[in-house]
Structure 1
Amino acid sequence: MLNYLLRRVLEAIPVLLIIVTFVFLLVNVAGDPVASMLGEEATPEQVAATRHALGLDRPLLVQYGDYLWHAVQGDFGDSYRFGQPALVLVLQRLPVTLTLAVSGILLAVIVAIPTGVIAAVRRGGVLDNSLLGLSVLAKAMPNFWLGIMLILVFSVGLGLLPVSGSGSMAHLVLPAVALATGVGAEIMMLVRSSVVEELGNDYVRTARGKGIKESRVLRAHALRNAFVPVTSIVLLQFSGLIGGAIIVETVFAWPGLGMLLIQAVTNKDLPVVQAGVFVIALMIIAVNLCGDVIFRLSDRRIQL
Structure 2
Amino acid sequence: MGYYIGRRLLEVIPTLFLIVTIVFFLVYIVGDPVTLMLGENATPEQVKAIRDSMGLNDPLLVQYWNYITHAFVGDFGDSYQYREPAMAIVLERLPLTLTLAVGSIILALVIAIPLGVWAATHRGGVIDNVVSSLSVLAKAMPNFWLGIMLILLFAVTLSWFPVSGSGTWAHLVLPVITLGTGTAAEITRLVRSSMVEILSQDYVRTAHGKGLRESVVVFKHALSNAFIPVASITVLQFSTLLGGALVTEAVFAWPGLGQLLVKSVTQRDMPVVQAAVFVIALMVIALSILSDISFKLVDRRIKLD
Q: Please give the TM-score of this superposition, normalised by the length of structure 1.
A: 0.98
**CA distance in 1 between partners of 2:298 and 2:73 (Å):** 36
- Tell which deviates more after alignment, 91-100 or 34-43: 34-43
Instruction: Give the root-mean-square deviation of aligned CA atoms.
Output: 0.9
Distance, in Å, in 2 between the alignment partners of 1:123 and 1:143 is 29
Secondary structure at 1:165 match in 2: coil
Matching residue's letter, 1:64? Y
Partner of 1:217: 217
1:264 maps to 264
For residues 72 and 220 of structure 2, the distance between their equivalents in structure 1, rounded to whole angstroms, comes to 49
After the TM superposition, which residues 256-295 of structure 1 pair with which residues of structure 2 at under 5 Å, given as runs?
A: 256-295=256-295
Q: 2:168: which partner in 1?
A: 168
Quote how far apart the aligned CAs of 1:211 are.
Answer: 2.6
User: 1:149 corresponds to which residue?
Assistant: 149
Separation in 1 of the partners of 2:84 and 2:221? Answer: 55
Partner of 1:14: 14
Moved over 6 A (4+): none
Question: In the alignment, what sits opposite 2:68?
Answer: 68
| CA-CA distance at 1:6 after TM superposition | 1.1
Query: Structure 2: which amino acid aligns with 1:290?
Result: L
Structure 2 Cα separation of the partners of residues 196 and 154 of structure 1: 36
Residue equivalent to 1:46: 46
Q: Which runs of 5+ in 1 are unaligned?
A: none
Q: Report the more deviating stretch, 122-131 or 146-155.
A: 122-131
Tell me the equivalent position of 1:133: 133
Deviation string, structure 1 residues 48-87 (Cα, Å, up to 9, x no partner): 1111111001111110100011112211000000000000
Deviation, 1:32, is: 1.0
1:27 matched to 2:27 = yes
Moved more, 121-130 or 266-275: 121-130
Shift of 1:126: 0.9
Residue number in structure 1 paired with 2:254 = 254
How far apart are the structure 1 equivalents of 2:209 and 2:302? 29
Q: Secondary structure at the match of 2:302?
A: coil
Distance 1:213 1:122 in 2: 16
Could you tell me which residue of structure 1 aligns to residue 119 of structure 2? 119
Equivalent position SS for 2:5: helix
Query: How far apart, CA to CA, are the structure 2 residues paired with 1:219 and 1:302?
Result: 23
Which residue is 2:245 aligned to? Answer: 245
Q: Which moved more, 1:148-157 or 1:119-128?
A: 119-128
Distance 1:175 1:72 in 2: 33
Separation in structure 1 between the aligned mates of residue 79 and residue 9 of structure 2, nearest angstrom: 29
Tell me the amino acid that sits aligned with residue 270 of structure 1: M
1:160 positional shift: 0.6
Residue aligning to 1:226: 226
Letter of the 1:175 partner, please give it.
P
Distance 2:99 2:6 in 1: 29
**Is structure 2 residue 85 aligned with structure 1 residue 85?**
yes
Write the deviation string for residues 158-213 of structure 1: whole angstroms up to 9, x where unpaired: 11100000000000000000000011001001000000010111221222223332
Query: Aligned partners of 1:215 and 1:97: how far apart in 2?
Result: 37
3-state SS, counterpart of residue 147 of structure 1: helix
Q: Which residue of 2 aligns with 1:185?
A: 185
Paired with 2:170 and 2:204, the residues of 1 have a C-alpha distance of 44
Task: Give the drift of 1:223.
Answer: 1.0
Aligned residues: 304
Residues 71-109 of structure 1: CA deviation (Å, up to 9, x unaligned): 122110000000000000000000011000100110011
- Separation (CA, whole Å) in 1 of partners of 2:117 and 2:59: 59
Offset of 1:220 from its aligned partner? 2.3
For structure 2, which runs of at least 5 residues remain unmatched after alignment?
A: none
Distance across 2 between alignment mates of 1:213 and 1:134? 29
What is the deviation of 1:245? Answer: 0.5
Q: Which residue of 2 aligns with 1:235?
A: 235
Distance in 1 between residues matched to 2:99 and 2:219, nearest whole Å: 31
For the residue of structure 1 that corresponds to 2:114, the secondary structure is helix
